[in-house]
Amino acid sequence: MRIPEDVRKDIPLTQEVIYFDNTATSLTPIPVVKAMDEYYLKYRANVHRGVHKLSQMATHKYEESRKTVADFIGAKFEEIVFTKNTSESLNLVALGLEWKKGDRIVTTPYEHHSDLLPWQRVARKYGAKLEIIEGDDEGNLDLSDAEKKIKGAKLVAVQHVSNALGVIHEVEEIGKMAKEEGAIFVVDAAQSVGHMEVDVRKIHADFLAFSGHKGPLGPTGIGVLYINEEMFDIFEPPLIGGGTIEDVDLCCYKLTAPPERYEAGTPNIGGAIGLAAGIKYIEKIGLDKIEKQEHELVKRTTEGLTELEIPWYGPRNLKKHAGVVSFNVPPLHPHDVAAILDEHNIMVRSGHHCALPVMKRLGINGTVRASFHVYNSIEEVETFLGVMEELVKSLR
Ligand SMILES: Cc1ncc(COP(=O)(O)O)c(C=O)c1O
């Protein structure tokens, strides 16, 4: 496959706009839409609930999708639970574990609200203690501080890639520290899966969360919670009911085995099928090619912004910088910059990116964020830099 030309052909919207808002959600390739169309038009039925052939077919495709997800991140079939999105997955972890006063939860200063609020609530409700690993303004974590804080912790929750700063965190090293301490290791992989290799065993994850609609090029409304099988005995399903049981009497119930134990009610069947199609599409391109393309785009973007003296955030070491570039054009408000870019058909996100503690730490009210996927081109970056140059000139 030629990158990005052949991918762009599969994504009609790339011909209409410059889409640099991939951190929020990605564009959808035709094969993903077709896979979902096929479900809705040819075998639309519920799963695990019928002997008729449509239900059999839907069940087969749904479970085949689970296998695709499992293989993609190095997990076992039964360790994959379909959810709504990363936020739901992370909340489920916090709700399904048992907590007591004094339990220590360790996280980072760069987390998305979805990997911070659930732990804050646990701390408030049960008297657990939330501890934050030290780090610098570029988003680099102090690993020796991580080692100190992780000692005796019950749970360590870390994002793989920051959606606000683009920094790639050392999840493998941190996971190892957590394992050595017997702590539960939770990874927010919302911005890494689909953009770079993620192997749950390699990074020692006990739980890992991601959304279908971002890196994996799937639809919205489908997410994944990976649950290491070693957690099955201590992780209670926060939601129970239809589909989660082996037996029920009026007095009581017996839960069924995972993964069904963790999926109450009718799941997002078309979404899971679309997600698997997205993953297959990613595999066809190759994660190495995706990473390489995004790296080129980040390199040119940061180089161009530096030339224009536009401050950008995140690590200067571009090996640690994923395909997300946050910047500001003082004295303009980030929303005004985004609106100007929109006039030129360039879609970026502006605001606090659900990472208010990061913004407060940097003393800013938000950033403009250009975020990439494999279908973005260097030509698009040049167009973007051209608009930025004109904008900067108009301000000086
Ligand atoms: C790092 C990170 N975690 C969690 C989320 C939440 O993802 P979702 O909105 O799909 O639940 C996001 C979304 O941008 C994210 O970037």
The pLDDT tens digits of the residues spanning 264-299 come to: 999 999 999 999 999 999 999 999 999 999 999 999
Picking from 118, 191, 121, the residue whose alpha carbon sits closest to that of residue 157 is: 118
* Probe residue for ligand 1, chosen from 23, 110, 354 as the CB with the greatest number of ligand atoms within 8 Å: 354
Q: Whose CA is nearest to atom 16 of ligand 1?
A: 163
Ligand 1: residue whose CA is nearest its atom 12: 190
**CA-to-CA separations, 245 to 79, 252, 261, in angstroms, rounded:** 17, 11, 7
CA 103 from chain centre, in angstroms, equals 26
Distance from the alpha carbon of residue 317 to the mean position of ligand 1, in angstroms? 24
Average pLDDT of the chain, as a whole number: 98
* Distances in whole angstroms, Cα of residue 217 to Cα of each of 118, 210, 283, 284, 294: 26, 12, 11, 13, 15
pLDDT at 396: 86
**Cα 349 to Cα 22: distance, rounded to the nearest angstrom:** 9
Residue of 198, 224, 200, 199 lying closest to 213 (CA atoms): 224
Q: Which amino acid is at 226?
A: Y
Which residues, in sequence order, are CB contacts of 144 under 8 Å at separation 6+? none
For residue 54, report the distance from its CA to the centre of ligand 1, in Å: 34
Share of the chain above pLDDT 90, in %: 99
Q: Which two tokens stand for residue 236?
A: 């209670």
Q: What is the distance between the alpha carbons of residues 160 and 348, in angstroms, rounded to a whole number?
A: 22
Are 351 and 174 in contact, with CB atoms under 8 Å apart?
no
Measure the CA–CA gap between 190 and 24, rounded to whole angstroms: 10
Which residue of 21, 82, 83, 87 sits with most ligand 1 atoms within 8 Å of its CB, as the best mutation to test the pocket?
A: 87
How many other CB atoms sit within 10 Å of the CB of residue 345? 12
- Position 50 scores a pLDDT of 84
Evaluate if residue 174 carries a pLDDT over 90. yes
Separation of CA 89 and ligand 1 centre (Å): 10
Q: How far is the CA of 353 from the centre of ligand 1 (A)?
A: 9
Tens digit of each residue's pLDDT (9 = 90 or more) over 346-383: 999 999 999 999 999 999 999 999 999 999 999 999 99
Determine the atom of ligand 1 nearest the C-alpha atom of 114. Answer: 4
Q: What is the pLDDT of residues 119-160, one digit of tens each?
A: 999 999 999 999 999 999 999 999 999 999 999 999 999 999
List of domains in the chain: 31-283 (3.40.640.10), 286-395 (3.90.1150.10)
Residue 108 and residue 159 in contact, taking contact as beta carbons nearer than 8 Å: yes
DSSP state of 354: T
Atom index in ligand 1 nearest the CA of residue 88 equals 11
- Which run of H or of E encompasses 369? strand 367-371
Q: Which residues line ligand 1 (CB under 6 A)?
A: 23, 85-87, 112, 114-115, 159, 163, 188, 190-191, 211
- CA-closest residue to ligand 1 atom 14: 24
Ligand 1 atom index nearest CA of 214: 10
CA distance 356 to 176: 29
For residue 261, the CA-to-ligand 1 centroid distance in Å is 25
Q: Known catalytic residue: 252?
A: no
Query: For ligand 1, what atom is nearest to the CA of residue 111?
Result: 1
CA of 111 to the centre of ligand 1 (A): 10
| Confidence category of residue 310, pLDDT binned at 50, 70, 90 | very high
What's the CA-to-centroid distance between 158 and ligand 1, angstroms? Answer: 13
Measure the CA–CA gap between 34 and 39, rounded to whole angstroms.
9
**Of 354, 356, 362, 387, which one is the catalytic site residue?**
354
The single-letter code of the amino acid at 208 is L
Q: Which amino acid is at 328?
A: N
Share of the chain above pLDDT 70, in %: 100
